[in-house]
Structure 1
């Protein structure tokens, strides 16, 4: 194995738009290998969809297809297996969404933060950027080379191969929301820390902005209605799985989810649909359902 870092990237895609091509371009400016996993997009076979993926291939990305939509956990696992099988000297995997775009020196910044943390005796399990768009991670403004990190988001996350070997694959039964949270908590259970690169930021669309009549935009985003089913179902499941070992995380996660739902119920259009989906997710979580939703 080489001691020089050899990262590769995995980009998950579903019903991709032009942002996927921009994501691939931004990664290939910094890494030699990128795998795009098209997770059973329903528009596969259309000219627009196939032309996008063909452009990604022409840029140098490897494109892998799922025949059906299996969720982000399965897409990540497929992409990671692909890049690991193609490069025995691989040292890291950078995971990304199709709506993320790397600024210059993003990967270099994450690797530098990991290196400095390890030199300080930290067992680094993953490294994430200090800011996502204009949202800065707490405690990243002190001018240090790295900071201890809390719960990261999946896009822009740098995972050493050693972490992948220790923690294992992402939980595909969660399908979408909570996949990154579960992986982070499993890493913590093994003594692997999450760290943050303070000077590194990621361009990533976190959701749909809420715009009031008159054009005023509120300082938070709202997810698609169906996501509230998975958010609440998987929250219950992860609290059951990890709550005893991580009670602070569990309490905070419940408070944040409840607060968010309350705010968007009051201020954002579509409240009935979101409440219906959240209630459906709670019932599914209590029943212990996993995988893609039933009915």
Structure 2
């Protein structure tokens, strides 16, 4: 570990959330451990199945904290952030277990944060310009940073003073849109959400499927030929949290809320079209809407777990190389 990767920079720690980690988590931690003063790994209730991988992470030098039950990614990261701060972290960078952190990544985030602060910007968080294939940077750029939007929490640099000012990640969201809620909250409180230029965080975004209707691929201007589908149970959280987010931030960020809601709405319809049995996903949607309207946050109700487990996606996997040959 490097206690001071950037001369005179604040002490920075990495915080990982894991669930049933495998070799990928070991590679992820290995890729960043020499860039930071320390690494905290919070395992989100994996149980004995995670023993081998977590032991390997301890062997690398990471501090491992094990949740006794599955508390959700926001709560797990919050616990990790608290542990990092107890060990002297002035900044933290949050990661998922399958992130691929390139050399110099953390230093680039810190340089961008320092440059923005020197320019009088009230820095909230800094993310990489690119997350996998997604470009998070927006707006006019300086030499090292620019505004960001629709940010993803993996690879996000958060100063301790920002956590003190606006609070932790929203644990009652459990999973999905946790990063978006934090982004909107920061902006509402007058903080800037920035992207560090010239860096990319490698990450698996899920399985891409061909976008089809009645067995034929849909090709429309501006619409990607594929749809990236999440694990079915996550659609409960995506729908519920989208409604809650819209209700709380519509007037603070109307353009972003309306655009994101339209995009999500199209995605939810596409997912419903290819779900089998379709009625099972529709049941998740109805339960999510009810939960949002009644303020029922936290984990998905237990009776919905077997419902979500029955859902499969009836769509062919999108293979760009094969598509290009057609």
- Whether TM-score is above 0.5 comes out as yes
Q: Deviations 1:118-140 (Å, cap 9, x if unpaired)? A: 22221110000111123333548
Of the candidates 28, 32, 39, which is equivalent to residue 27 of structure 1?
32
What is the Cα deviation at residue 141 of structure 1?
9.7
Contact persistence 2:74–2:174 (CA under 8 A): yes
Assess, with a 3 A threshold, how the Cα gap between structure 1 residues 133 and 212 changes in structure 2: closer, same or farther: same
What is the Cα deviation at residue 197 of structure 1?
1.1
Structure 1 residue aligned with 2:316: none
Q: Counterparts of 1:292 and 1:94 in 2: how far apart (Å)? A: 25
Q: Deviations 1:243-289 (Å, cap 9, x if unpaired)? A: 222222221221111121233444x4547244432332122212221
Q: Counterparts of 2:102 and 2:8 in 1: how far apart (Å)? A: 25
Of the candidates 235, 242, 245, which is equivalent to residue 238 of structure 1?
245
Alignment partner of 2:28: what SS?
Answer: helix
Within a 5 Å distance, the mapping from 1:4-43 to structure 2 comes to 4-41=9-46
What is the Cα deviation at residue 224 of structure 1?
0.7
What is the Cα deviation at residue 178 of structure 1?
1.7
Q: Counterparts of 2:233 and 2:160 in 1: how far apart (Å)? A: 33
Alignment partner of 1:100: what SS?
Answer: coil
Structure 2 residue aligned with 1:254: 261
Structure 1 residue aligned with 2:294: 287
TM-score (structure 2 length as normaliser): 0.81
Contact persistence 2:242–2:261 (CA under 8 A): yes
Q: Counterparts of 2:23 and 2:117 in 1: how far apart (Å)? A: 37
Alignment partner of 2:35: what SS?
Answer: coil
Q: Counterparts of 2:34 and 2:84 in 1: how far apart (Å)? A: 17
Q: Counterparts of 2:208 and 2:19 in 1: how far apart (Å)? A: 20
Q: Deviations 1:209-246 (Å, cap 9, x if unpaired)? A: 22589xx9954411011111001101111112222222
Of the candidates 226, 233, 245, which is equivalent to residue 226 of structure 1?
233
Alignment partner of 1:256: what SS?
Answer: helix
Structure 2 residue aligned with 1:45: 48
Q: Deviations 1:179-235 (Å, cap 9, x if unpaired)? A: 11111122112211100012010011122222589xx99544110111110011011
Shifted more, 144-153 versus 102-111: the winner is 144-153
Shifted more, 50-59 versus 115-124: the winner is 115-124
Give the aligned CA root-mean-square deviation in angstroms. 2.3
Alignment partner of 1:8: what SS?
Answer: strand
Contact persistence 1:264–1:271 (CA under 8 A): no
Q: Deviations 1:51-89 (Å, cap 9, x if unpaired)? A: 1100000000000011000101110111011111112xx
Structure 2 residue aligned with 1:99: 98
Q: Counterparts of 1:169 and 1:212 in 2: how far apart (Å)? A: 37
What is the Cα deviation at residue 34 of structure 1?
0.3
Rg larger for? 2
Count how many residue pairs are aligned between Structure 1 and Structure 2: 285
Assess, with a 3 A threshold, how the Cα gap between structure 1 residues 237 and 149 changes in structure 2: closer, same or farther: same
What is the Cα deviation at residue 8 of structure 1?
0.2
Q: Which has the higher contact order (CA 8 A, sep 6+)?
A: 1
Gaps of 5+ in 2: 1-6, 218-223, 304-326
Q: Counterparts of 1:177 and 1:98 in 2: how far apart (Å)? A: 15
Assess, with a 3 A threshold, how the Cα gap between structure 1 residues 143 and 51 changes in structure 2: closer, same or farther: same
TM-score (structure 1 length as normaliser): 0.89
